[in-house]
Amino acid sequence: MSTGSPVGRTLLGLLEERPSYGYTLKQRYDELFAAHKPLAFGQVYATLGRLERDGFAEVVGVETGEGPERRRYAITKNGVTELELWIAAPEQPIAFGQSTLFVKTTLALLSGRPPHVVLDAQRAIHLARMRELTRARADADVVRRLALDYEIAHLDTDLRWIEETVQRLERGDLG
């Protein structure tokens, strides 16, 4: 698939749910997957153009009015096949060694700055966010709850790393 990025395949999945206009796809994508970094309109329309070019999506309606032409897209049979292959394929684990938290902690150590300042501040922010997410779970639908649980699990992993790093620093065990 030449759309390459997960965004193209994600848009295919949303089109499988129901045919949509680019604007509606962007709203749905942002609602489900991009709460902190919304998808740019240009990226949506460029991706839809590639999906159409590659035979994975097609225009099923065009509305004209006072503004720009609105094109409604639907997934094709080839798009469904591509989506099924992508969903079934396991993802490679991602190395998180370049996370900003890791970089800041490393730079603090290398520069002689106290890494505890970085770690303590991050711990407080993580704990506050976990409380916020836990409260949000009470009123969330199943899809939102899955997203909240996923974020909570990642925050929990970061917190374990923070605690282990603090313990290692206190023991002087950095080798």
pLDDT tens for each residue of 14-66: 999 899 999 999 998 988 887 667 899 999 999 999 999 999 999 999 988 77
pTM: 0.69
**What residue spans define the domains of the chain?**
6-88, 100-171
The residue-averaged pLDDT of 115-130 equals: 93
Stronger pLDDT, 1 or 171, i.e. the higher one: 171
- Asked if residues 19 and 73 have their Cβ atoms less than 8 Å apart, the reply is yes
Structure tokens at 15: 């089109």
Give the full edge-to-edge strand order of the sheet including 20-21: 20-21, 70-75, 57-63
CA 10 to chain centre: 11
Count of beta carbons in the 10 Å neighbourhood of residue 130: 17
Class in CATH terms, 6-88 = mainly alpha
In 3-state terms, what secondary structure has residue 21?
Answer: strand
